[in-house]
Structure 1
Amino acid sequence: MSDDKKKQPHVSPAIKGFAGSIGGVAEACALQPMDVIKTRLQLDKAGKYKGIWGCGKTIIQEEGVAALWKGLTPFAMHLTLKYALRMGSNSVYQSMLRDDNGKLTDGRRMLAGFLAGITEAVVIVTPFEVVKIRLQQQKGMAKEQLKYKGPINCALTVLREEGIRGMWSGCTPTVLRNGTNQMCLFWAKNNVDKFLWDKHEGDGKMLTPTQSMTSGFLAALLGPIATGPFDVAKTRLMAQTKTSGGTRYSGFFDALMRIPREEGIMAMWKGLLPRLLRIPPGQAIVWAVSDQITGYFEAQSIAKASGSLPA
């Protein structure tokens, strides 16, 4: 191993995973209402909701303010585990893809992000989002009138009625969406940091929370636009339940063709504005937290390597 590679500061995947999970908790609590609105808009085929504000106002009037936090428990748990796995697995994949000098090209950085997105989609995101979307699509607050009484009851009901495959409904578009999202995110975050703040990976420079929030926000703008069709197809597939007549969409490609044919091409970007109002601010929160934690350990690693701290 070369001396250059040995000098690369080491922040373990476990620490990066922990940093991401703490950011995920903060994001879930702050931005759950926008996720509920996004889901309702994507499932609205009759045009009941008139935009973001109209949707939010209607939900509050008909179901109460608390309805905007429907599905918070699985959403918060989902984000905590998702960001832990995303940050940790991305670190592992990046380590595997570095050259002999410890360097990572933009292409390999994007590949690591894509693989991290696939990992989180299969292991965590799909089953948690099935539960979250089933809970969010229910209208009303009286539990006795709801099919699903809570996250655990929802999961058990899906397993009983639809089998294990029901918990992974919409897995294909979720893989494509998350893989593309993380490919864009990790590449863009690294390059925005360099362009705006002259922050280079492994240099020990600590960004302020405001700088991290700015970078995270800007880096997260591209993904939702690129993956809108995948997200709409995923939501429709996860929301549908089996009836005597079967299901409306037979699979991902069927949904991808039928939705624009029946509702117009712009239907494939339904819910885009609330996604843009939710995802970039969410990433701003996550990176503000995770950069502080990983930056601290990165600085400690550099200090130890230089002899400023005891090994």
Structure 2
Amino acid sequence: MGVKDEPQKAAVVSPFIKSFAGSIGGIAEAGCLQPIDTIKTRLQLDKAKQYKGIVDCGKQIIRDEGTKSLWKGLTPFATHLTLKYALRMGTNAFYQSLLRDKDGKLSDIRRMGAGFAAGITEALVIVTPFEVVKIRLQQQRGLSKELLKYRGPVHTATTIFREEGLLGLWSGAAPTVMRNGTNQMCLFWAKNNFDGLFFGKEEGDGRVLLPWQSMLSGFSAACLGPIATGPFDVIKTRLMAQQKSDGPARYKGLLDALVKIPAEEGFLAFYKGLLPRLLRIPPGQAIVWAVSDQIVGYFEQKQYE
């Protein structure tokens, strides 16, 4: 394949290439997994226990609002994922380049640090405003657009800006930072280690994993984040769903929600929506890595030719 038996130095692909690879993977993920994300959001907002689980939630949405309602918020979701993965992969590669030693090596601790920093960056720049818009659209119920407060992504964003100010688009930023930072810390560390554990692949060695291999290691790595960050994700959703027009805010912030939710609903309320997150995030990461590994691997191989 044009790869030397014992390369002296690992190939390092430009952050721009990794950014491009991530964006293509994000487009593929969004189209496939939006219904699971809609169900997850409805379950997390279900304080009245209207839904009995994932299947029941999906059935009720289809029955009451039509099948297309499972794709509510797709435009901001797809745009969000495309930009998010471009930023995530690119900034992670950038932070890794800053943390490598003189031989180009990256310890596990430094790899986790780069992932955490990439997660914080994407949370503040991309994730929070897009998720606020997406969640406001997903929480609405009904078929008639005339009866809905928000009639589309742009209308939602402008309405939030008009009623709540610019910072309204960054509602729930604190738990989003904690969720995404921890997620990416786990993801990039685990993906690299699962590549090595399952297939003997080392970063920059010029080998390209087969798509199914990338999917397996990406899926396995992505299982860690949702379990570690379940409480932050629930709090993030609750804070983003609050609207000034509904009256005084139920939760004043991250710490207030951290106390109120288990006191009022029990500790397991922090893991509402965990199963649909596990049904969405690991398969989504499997798709993203299957695409991005092929693109990054192509450019790695070019350095060994």
- Short-chain TM bin: over 0.9
1:207/1:263 Cα in 2 relative to 1: closer, same or farther (>3 Å)?
same
Which of 108, 131, 150 lines up with 1:148 in the alignment?
150
Are the equivalent residues in 2 in contact too, given 1:209–1:289 (CA < 8 A)?
A: yes
User: How far apart in 2 are the matches of 1:279 and 1:269?
Assistant: 15
User: How far apart in 2 are the matches of 1:141 and 1:186?
Assistant: 41
User: What do the CA deviations read for 1:104-152 (whole angstroms, capped 9, x no partner)?
Assistant: 0000000000000000000000000000000000001211011001000
User: How far apart in 1 are the matches of 2:222 and 2:200?
Assistant: 19
Are the equivalent residues in 1 in contact too, given 2:88–2:122 (CA < 8 A)?
A: yes
Are the equivalent residues in 2 in contact too, given 1:171–1:234 (CA < 8 A)?
A: yes
User: What do the CA deviations read for 1:187-211 (whole angstroms, capped 9, x no partner)?
Assistant: 0000000000000011101100000
Which of 103, 106, 109 lines up with 1:107 in the alignment?
109
Are the equivalent residues in 1 in contact too, given 2:10–2:203 (CA < 8 A)?
A: no
TM-score of the pair, normalised by structure 1: 0.95
User: How far apart in 2 are the matches of 1:263 and 1:141?
Assistant: 30
Any idea what SS the aligned residue of 2:146 has?
A: helix
Residue type matched to 1:56 in 2? G
Q: Which runs of 5+ in 1 are unaligned?
A: 304-311
Q: What is the CA-CA distance between 1:5 and the residue it aligns to?
A: 11
Are the equivalent residues in 1 in contact too, given 2:39–2:57 (CA < 8 A)?
A: yes
Q: What is the CA-CA distance between 1:301 and the residue it aligns to?
A: 1.2
Are the equivalent residues in 1 in contact too, given 2:218–2:286 (CA < 8 A)?
A: yes
CA RMSD of aligned residues (A): 1.2
Residue type matched to 2:201 in 1? K
Tell me the number of residue pairs that the alignment of Structure 1 and Structure 2 aligns. Answer: 300
User: How far apart in 1 are the matches of 2:146 and 2:304?
Assistant: 58
Q: What is the CA-CA distance between 1:6 and the residue it aligns to?
A: 8.3
Any idea what SS the aligned residue of 2:244 has?
A: coil
Any idea what SS the aligned residue of 1:219 has?
A: helix
Query: In structure 2, what is the equivalent of residue 309 of structure 1?
Result: none
Q: Which runs of 5+ in 2 are unaligned?
A: 1-5
User: What do the CA deviations read for 1:219-257 (whole angstroms, capped 9, x no partner)?
Assistant: 000100000000000000000101474211111110111
Any idea what SS the aligned residue of 1:204 has?
A: coil
Query: In structure 2, what is the equivalent of residue 93 of structure 1?
Result: 95
Any idea what SS the aligned residue of 1:302 has?
A: coil
Query: In structure 2, what is the equivalent of residue 169 of structure 1?
Result: 171
Query: Share of identical aligned residues, percent?
Result: 71
Matches of residues 1-311 of structure 1 in structure 2 within 5 Å?
Answer: 7-243=9-245, 245-303=247-305
User: How far apart in 2 are the matches of 1:287 and 1:302?
Assistant: 22
User: How far apart in 2 are the matches of 1:62 and 1:6?
Assistant: 62
User: How far apart in 2 are the matches of 1:99 and 1:5?
Assistant: 17
Are the equivalent residues in 2 in contact too, given 1:114–1:179 (CA < 8 A)?
A: yes
